[in-house]
Homo-oligomer: A and B are copies of this chain.
């Protein structure tokens, strides 16, 4: 029974599980599962093989239950496998290393046989775990659907090496181990495998907020919440600290499932539960399981969250999804793309019309209104929204206007012609079916209006096109827009990195994508987005893209649009180490 259903939220974070601590021998797994399901848990994190087992020739693997005791769909929907915790690949003892490798492979094969969705790899016993990663990487090559979740403590901990002498003599003895670094080393040795994920053990202490937020850019699949992480409220019921609550809400928002683990520390009578006054979320749940009070509290935290705003619900399927930016110079846009853009009233009426009106007033004083006709060129007129905005600005300011509408897409030109005819603008507007870069203009313009900005400012070649068009702008003419600047911010985004990596070529790594970023961690403060642009698309870029300002007209001698720069970012404090997968760029 999921924690709840938030309207429109299709994330899988609303499922919760519990960890089975004792090996369910003697085919008792179905009973354990049934009790947990009827108590409101959705799945079990359960050992698959007797922990006393060590490989011996000819031995049959002592599994917790034959595949026949649960149906295939029960296995795959309700069981996450917990791989043997005794395994140690980086021990001095060779036999232990060999036994570990053989056992892990047998267990993963059994889990694949059962079509489990995931298995949890035990916490590395040492901070240097190269052999562990090697074996896991080898196993990952043969897995088709199953994920492996590497279990790690969230809090920083004592160095894990049990080579005591070394630790004692080590200068770093007082430094705590950062489990993110362990994760990073492990996943790099597994070549960023998309099937290798993380399960974080959460106990009573938490590291700094900035350090926690790094995990939102990593493939964390489960938060294993220890019962000893809970506090006790005045009525004796379990609850969490504010910081723990905030962390869990963050996990819920990033599709991280909760698994409750440990022995119950709160012996709560099932009759008068702390939440019994709230019928909505205790209805139908019998408080019979020793971990039920913890689940009820988690469920309460989930249901307490604000529902997603409508706009966010609409866009949920675009989260962390790579979209190739439009290339309107190379490809002619389609009618429905124009249709979408033309709906942006703010842009045309509030921004462009205002800007043209100001330029007209600036160039033509009130006493010259009847004698002066301003020449305005819309370069990239599309189906005419800027033509309309310009004519409305002229009417609003009482200025006389002559408009040239330059458009290279012959299909949009067809629509422009019918628009001019329909609106009776024939005397004011001349349509030029041409690329602005090669048009031979009959006169020079006072005002040059364009909307060639892509998501990153320059990625739809606005600078190159306007550089080609500025020949027919008068020396004192005005370009709208007159300048724009791109901004960037370094981020961790393992999901996007893996999606690009799946193409197995450099070309996709060199592509700028438009993405509604969600499962990322920002690593340095963002620079502010310019307020005059109301629309701001969040974008993701490879390492090569940087911050630039473009100004029109561009009066630099030998102006080139080749740009290169280096920027220095200051890391957020307390964040610890992190991996920069890419940059978030916007204008």
A-to-B contact residues, CB < 8 Å = 58, 60-61, 63, 66-68, 71-72, 75-76, 106, 109-110, 112-115, 332, 334-336, 339, 383, 409-415, 417-419, 433
Please give the distance in Å from A105's CB to the nearest CB on chain B: 10
With known contacts A115-B334, A334-B112, A68–B415 Cβ distance under 8 A? yes
A113's partner among B61, B114, B411 (CB-CB below 8 A) is: B411
A414's partner among B63, B72, B411, B414 (CB-CB below 8 A) is: B63
| Interchain CA distance A368-B183 in the complex, whole Å | 69
With known contacts A72-B339, A335-B114, A336-B72, A417–B109 Cβ distance under 8 A? no
Q: Are A335 and B411 neighbours in the complex by a CB distance under 8 Å?
A: no
Interface-central residue, A114, A332, A414, A433, by most chain B CB under 10 Å: A414
Q: Are A75 and B113 neighbours in the complex by a CB distance under 8 Å?
A: no
| Interchain CA distance A462-B115 in the complex, whole Å | 26
Interface-central residue, A75, A110, A114, A411, by most chain B CB under 10 Å: A411
Please give the distance in Å from A245's CB to the nearest CB on chain B: 40
Q: Are A414 and B115 neighbours in the complex by a CB distance under 8 Å?
A: no
Q: Residues of B contacting A336 with CB < 8 Å?
A: 72, 76, 115
Which residue of chain B lies nearest to A144 when distances are taken between CB atoms in the complex? B331
Which residue of chain B lies nearest to A60 when distances are taken between CB atoms in the complex? B417
Q: Are B68 and A418 neighbours in the complex by a CB distance under 8 Å?
A: yes
Please give the distance in Å from A56's CB to the nearest CB on chain B: 13
Q: Are A109 and B332 neighbours in the complex by a CB distance under 8 Å?
A: yes
* 5 tightest A-B CB contacts, nearest first: A72-B336, A113-B411, A66-B418, A67-B335, A60-B417
Q: Are A106 and B335 neighbours in the complex by a CB distance under 8 Å?
A: no
Q: Are B410 and A106 neighbours in the complex by a CB distance under 8 Å?
A: yes
Interface-central residue, A72, A335, A409, A418, by most chain B CB under 10 Å: A335
A332's partner among B72, B76, B113, B410 (CB-CB below 8 A) is: B113
| Interchain CA distance A323-B388 in the complex, whole Å | 55
Q: Are A109 and B410 neighbours in the complex by a CB distance under 8 Å?
A: yes
Contacts A/B (CB < 8 Å), 30 sampled: A60-B414, A60-B433, A61-B410, A66-B414, A66-B415, A66-B418, A66-B419, A67-B335, A67-B383, A68-B383, A68-B415, A68-B418, A68-B419, A72-B336, A72-B339, A75-B335, A76-B336, A106-B410, A109-B411, A110-B414, A112-B332, A112-B334, A113-B332, A113-B334, A113-B409, A113-B411, A114-B334, A114-B335, A115-B334, A115-B336
Q: Residues of B contacting A418 with CB < 8 Å?
A: 66, 68
Q: Residues of B contacting A335 with CB < 8 Å?
A: 67, 72, 75, 113-115
Which residue of chain B lies nearest to A72 when distances are taken between CB atoms in the complex? B336
Q: Residues of B contacting A339 with CB < 8 Å?
A: 71-72
Given contacts A110-B411, A113-B335, A115-B334, 19 further A-B contacts (CB under 8 A): A60-B414, A61-B410, A66-B415, A66-B418, A67-B335, A67-B383, A67-B411, A67-B414, A67-B415, A68-B418, A109-B332, A109-B411, A112-B332, A112-B334, A113-B332, A113-B334, A113-B409, A113-B412, A115-B336
Q: Residues of B contacting A414 with CB < 8 Å?
A: 60-61, 63, 66-67, 110
Please give the distance in Å from A530's CB to the nearest CB on chain B: 31
Which residue of chain B lies nearest to A145 when distances are taken between CB atoms in the complex? B334
Please give the distance in Å from A46's CB to the nearest CB on chain B: 16
Q: Residues of B contacting A61 with CB < 8 Å?
A: 410, 414
Please give the distance in Å from A182's CB to the nearest CB on chain B: 31
Please give the distance in Å from A102's CB to the nearest CB on chain B: 11
| Interchain CA distance A418-B112 in the complex, whole Å | 19
Q: Residues of B contacting A417 with CB < 8 Å?
A: 60
Please give the distance in Å from A463's CB to the nearest CB on chain B: 27
Which residue of chain B lies nearest to A335 when distances are taken between CB atoms in the complex? B67
Which residue of chain B lies nearest to A338 when distances are taken between CB atoms in the complex? B67
Q: Residues of B contacting A66 with CB < 8 Å?
A: 414-415, 418-419
Q: Residues of B contacting A68 with CB < 8 Å?
A: 383, 415, 418-419
| Interchain CA distance A419-B60 in the complex, whole Å | 13
Q: Residues of B contacting A419 with CB < 8 Å?
A: 66, 68
Q: Residues of B contacting A115 with CB < 8 Å?
A: 334-336
Please give the distance in Å from A498's CB to the nearest CB on chain B: 23
| Interchain CA distance A112-B417 in the complex, whole Å | 19
Which residue of chain B lies nearest to A333 when distances are taken between CB atoms in the complex? B113
Q: Residues of B contacting A58 with CB < 8 Å?
A: 433
Please give the distance in Å from A428's CB to the nearest CB on chain B: 18
Q: Residues of B contacting A334 with CB < 8 Å?
A: 112-115
Q: Residues of B contacting A109 with CB < 8 Å?
A: 332, 410-411
Please give the distance in Å from A110's CB to the nearest CB on chain B: 6
| Interchain CA distance A68-B60 in the complex, whole Å | 72
| Interchain CA distance A109-B63 in the complex, whole Å | 64
Q: Residues of B contacting A113 with CB < 8 Å?
A: 332, 334-335, 409, 411-412
Q: Are A60 and B106 neighbours in the complex by a CB distance under 8 Å?
A: no
Interface-central residue, A60, A115, A413, by most chain B CB under 10 Å: A60
| Interchain CA distance A118-B474 in the complex, whole Å | 47
Q: Residues of B contacting A433 with CB < 8 Å?
A: 58, 60
Which residue of chain B lies nearest to A114 when distances are taken between CB atoms in the complex? B335
Please give the distance in Å from A388's CB to the nearest CB on chain B: 13
Q: Residues of B contacting A75 with CB < 8 Å?
A: 335
